[in-house]
Chains A and B, each alone.
Chain A
Amino acid sequence: MIGAKPRKGGRVAGSGAAATAAAREAGAVRRPRRPRRRGGVFVPLLVLLLLAAAAYGAFSLVTALQRGRIATLEDSILALQAETVPLRFMVTERRDGRLVLRYRLYDLAGEEYAAAELSLQGETLYLDFLALPRGDAWLAFPYRIFTERVAPAAGAPLFDAVMGEGRPRSHRGGPFGEAELLELGRLYAAMTAGEPVRGAFGNAVHDLAELRRFELGVVYKVVARKKGGIEILEE
């Protein structure tokens, strides 16, 4: 009975839902109030806040772990490129199939502990080192100097210049304590005496007659790398 006008008094003819709807339309019957939802807008806001906070916490944790990993990787990369300089030298003269060189030996702190001048028959200079594995790195010990004309065994030994009171002066000024220096000295002596030391090897670096000679008056440095490699670089 939609559209039917209510009579005075508010009663509408007819029955059931249609009558109620008509009465509501006429304003005679008040629409029942919806029960208020508990929490209203706060619950979804709180849920959103908690989710955002959880995501923030999780990503913060991830980024903190990532920062640690990045620092470790950067340290490892720097360690691989780090260089120790046990020896610097300069060829001062080349004449009549002989060469004259001046060399200086350095400890881990970069302090010079020995220097000398040497004359050898030959034109290609070999600087011989012994590499000893220690932990995850290799330590380089000056061994001897020779040329292409001089057999290594007849070269100039550096053992006496390096060793002092049973300890290799080449490894002072670093992380090694007295006991470790004594142990290194014992191993160094064993290597130079030709006794087998597990993992140790030697490496004689030199200039190349075919490609490039050491220039007179130019200072070169011998560089020992963490992984056991030895290089010669111009200073």
Chain B
Amino acid sequence: MEASNLRAAVDAAAGALRFLLTTPLGLGLSAAGLVAYAALRLWAALRARALACKAAGERLGAAEGFFIALKELYALALGLVAALPVVAALLLSSLALVTLSDGLAKFDEARVNAERIRELSAVLRNLEGRRRVMDVRALAASGGELTLELSYYDPARPDRPAATETIVIAGSDVYFDAIVCNFEYAEIAQGRRVNIAIPYRVFSELVPQAEGVALGARGPDGVPYAFGRADEDIYGIAPEAYRARLTELVALMDDEAAGRRAGIVRSVYGSAPHRLVKAGDRFTIWVEQSGGLTIKESFSF
């Protein structure tokens, strides 16, 4: 017998026992069975005696019938007492069977729960994740102007900057403007996509956005330069696939309505995280996978 068949047989037997011994209907049926057995035995004994009386030309009296019934019931009770060890063994076996079945059910539940925990942990990890968009380092501050070194990151290779540039901007509260594409939570949770941000301009509390410093543009294929790679610099994915995926992402950003209709994109908008900057400051701009951009300090000296 295969394990699954054995398991099914154990569960079926345990289910039947649980029904017979714990539910009102099952208990009623069990009691009815015992009563029917006793009634059959009484009937058989009375009938045998009645036939004997008939053969002898007599008639079975009510009193005699009553005593025969009492005797039969007494014999039944004695039989039950004699069979008590067997009955106890049967009850013990039933209990063991039901406990075994419940234990196996709990084991199955534990296995399913473990799988669910693995899935939820992955979802939480994906949603809690964040991607480095840009490192900012304030090189100098003089005459009301800040000199900033900006290092851009490619989501595919977060371990080192994809490009670095230095800019000068007037003011002290610096805004780092970027296009943000937040994908639907289902996409993020399953790890199919990551929210992306493309920084494109820096301005400050004194410099309007339109007069700020442009940070880059897209290439002829529509892919931001920050995401551009030479073939030899692309690891772990075919260069064609890498560019195709980037183009697809940019297309999604360009046609937000289509992306939203397809249930892929949640929002495309601009976001300019900002903070007061002084010489020596270093901090990082992140795109949170739960949505939006944040600034978290690297360290200050």
Contacts and interface: CB of A to CB of B under 8 A. Distances in A.
Interface of A: 40-42, 45-46, 48-49, 52-53, 55-56, 59-60, 62-63, 66-67, 69-70, 73-74, 76-77, 80-81, 122, 124, 126, 128, 131, 138, 146-153, 194, 196, 199-208, 211-212, 223, 225-233
20 contacts: A42-B92, A59-B106, A62-B106, A62-B110, A63-B110, A73-B120, A77-B123, A126-B209, A128-B274, A131-B294, A150-B208, A152-B175, A153-B173, A202-B274, A204-B271, A207-B269, A211-B256, A212-B268, A231-B180, A231-B292
Interface stretch (B19-27, B75-83, B93-101, B223-231): B93-101
A109 to B, nearest CB: 22
Which interface residue of B185, B207, B271 has the most chain A CB atoms within 10 A? B271
Majority secondary structure, A binding face: mixed
B10 to A, nearest CB: 11
Contacts of B206: 151, 153
Contacts, number: 191
A207 B295 CA distance: 20
**Shortest beta-carbon contacts, A-B, top 9:** A229-B292, A59-B106, A66-B113, A52-B99, A73-B120, A56-B103, A201-B295, A148-B209, A55-B103
B173 A152 contact: yes
A52 B103 contact: yes
A63 B108 CA distance: 10
B107 A70 contact: no
B110 A151 contact: no
Q: Which of A41, A46, A205, A206 has the most CB of B within 10 A?
A: A205
B99 A53 contact: yes
Given A69-B117, A202-B175, A206-B271, 8 more contacts: A59-B107, A70-B120, A77-B189, A201-B273, A202-B274, A208-B269, A211-B253, A211-B256
B110 A66 contact: yes
A227 B99 contact: no
B294 A148 contact: no
Interface in B189-236: 189, 203-210
Contact of A204 (B92, B96, B189, B274): B274
